[in-house]
Amino acid sequence: MTEADLQELLAKLRRFGGDHFTCEVKRSQGGLPASMWETISAFANAQGGLVVLGVDEKSDFSVVGVHDPARIEANLAGVCGEMEPPVRAEMHTLEIEGKHVITCYIPPTPKDQRPCHKKSLGPWGGSRVRVSDGDRKLTDYEVSLLLANRNEQKHDLKPVPQASLEDLDSELIRSFLRRVRETKSPIFSRISDAAALRMLNVLVNDDENLVPSLAGLLVFGRYPQQFEPQLDITFVAYPTPEAGVLGPSGERFTENRSIDGSIPEMVSECIRILKRNMRRRSIVTGLFRTDEWEYPEEVLREALVNALVHRDYSEFARGMQVQVEMYPDRLVIRNPGGLYGPVEVGSLGTETISSSRNKALLKILEDTPYSDNRMVCENRGSGIARMRIALVDAGMEPPRFTDDISSFTAEFPNHTLIDEDALNWLSSLSSDPLSKPQMTALVMMRNGEVMTNSSYRAATGVQDSRAASRDLKDLVDRGIVDQVGTRGSTIYTLSGQAESQTAALLDEFVTEAIPLTGDATDDAEPLSDLQNAVLSALESGPLLRHEIEERTGLDSGQVRGALKALRDKGRVELVGKARSKFARWRAT
């Protein structure tokens, strides 16, 4: 970091009135703070961050400098070395106004080496994670999950000693073995059913007994909840967009159910209950309009199977259910345990990388009949891509995914992206036909979204980056879309909007952020801590509301309230249509 970079950073911090998710500022005139290890651990267990020593946050981020910078650098390096695994920080000492300021970049620890913790305290007492502008102690479950993720997961192979072969559905077992013998190795045709079930991990040894594995019980059990009561699905339909807000008749919810049974049974029953709480909508397919469910059934099935297959089945998590929450404006499906292995949220649906902590369960479901000659899952890493494509075909917005340490959430907006107004607008753009992915991207750009190759694939389910480039280039050649930049920093906006949109949003996609200018007036009304947290999150550029929630650690109600107050004060504004889920908030 150069002096100019630091001055620019301090100017932004002054404007927003506090440090934030990826930056921590400390005076450190008397030496290194005793809590420094907590910040290092928190940054390392999140997305990394910058520590600045020698700046006083309470005095409008004035440069106060540190005494004996060489000693403080050495002590800081010592703290990094006391972490497990050791943190390889990048440090610089800069001289500003004759005073020394130390900057220290803490890189994120690889997921398979977390939690980064203070060695002397151990992972349970010495692990922190970054939330908004503070450091939070990891819960016992979060630490357990991160430690378990370092090794190959085999919780689904654990025996269920109390169960026996008689507790499994014999008809479903026969269908499963018939499928295996038709499609797998010839060896399964030459051995007994019991031997085949043992080789396929449906049955495992428990001392001298052959009993169902957890995976076998969950897939084929007549009633798995007899042995694991909480491994089920809870379904709640709320009458209003916020849980806890009563409906027009004073009702807390319109339906509240616990769904038991095997995985195939739970998926089927949950879809039936969802349909009972859904309306039908008209969608456009070619020249025709058809009535379909609010959420395509294929999307529901893929999302439910993913939640049940990829959830955490460790002892810590067996008291947690898969949660399905239905609101008037969205559907939320949440399961215990975040993403496992090298998979990142940004690559979901754009790459066929598949990584599961429950490999045996996934392999069994690959050959378990569901309906219409389908299996419960494909085990090809294509489920989320299929979800995106189905939503595009239905003219709906793409899903949003949130990966926390302890949970994974899929949220599906209940909103028709390509409605009558959008269709009329699209027909005015070109006489040549547009593909459904192109239509989806154009309407999203109309609503304020800026497209890149990766965001186009994430929104439409197009997995091939070359196909995405061809689609976008076709729109550029037609004069509908403008292209800004080249190669990795290329962005696409609607023609004629490049100047206004790019100025506001370019810093999301290129390494050089556009510096913010101007300061709040001295007589402005003081901002609350929540408002400051939201403004700090917006420092890096415009964000969707749920992205603000993720970066600040605030709940949706707190973010809504802070945004309304900030908008009333003229501190933030919307980019895009107010009713669109793709409208982004930015600092004015």
How does pLDDT run across 416-427, given as a tens digit for each residue? 788 778 888 998
**CA neighbor of 284 nearest in space, from 171, 159, 424, 154:** 424
pLDDT less than 50: residues of the chain: 287, 498-523, 578-579
Rg of the chain, C-alpha, whole Å: 27
* 255: Cα within 13 Å, side-chain hemisphere: 19
Both tokens of 92, joined, read 């610089």
User: Is-contact 104 111, C-beta < 8 A?
Assistant: no
Q: How far apart are CA 577 and CA 397, in angstroms?
A: 14
Q: How far apart are CA 289 and CA 292, in angstroms?
A: 10
pLDDT, residue 532, reads 80
**Which residues are CB-contacts of 448 (< 8 A; sequence separation ≥ 6)?**
501, 574, 575, 576, 577, 580, 582, 583, 584
Q: Which pTM does this prediction carry?
A: 0.75
The H helix count followed by the E strand count for the chain is 20, 24
pLDDT, residue 405, reads 87
Q: How far apart are CA 204 and CA 183, in angstroms?
A: 23
Q: How far apart are CA 181 and CA 56, in angstroms?
A: 70
**CA neighbor of 336 nearest in space, from 420, 230, 209:** 230
Both tokens of 431, joined, read 């006489």
Compute CA distances 487 → 61, 197, 452, 467, 510, whole Å.
37, 51, 10, 15, 11
pLDDT, residue 89, reads 94
Both tokens of 515, joined, read 């510096």
pLDDT, residue 511, reads 29
pLDDT, residue 93, reads 94
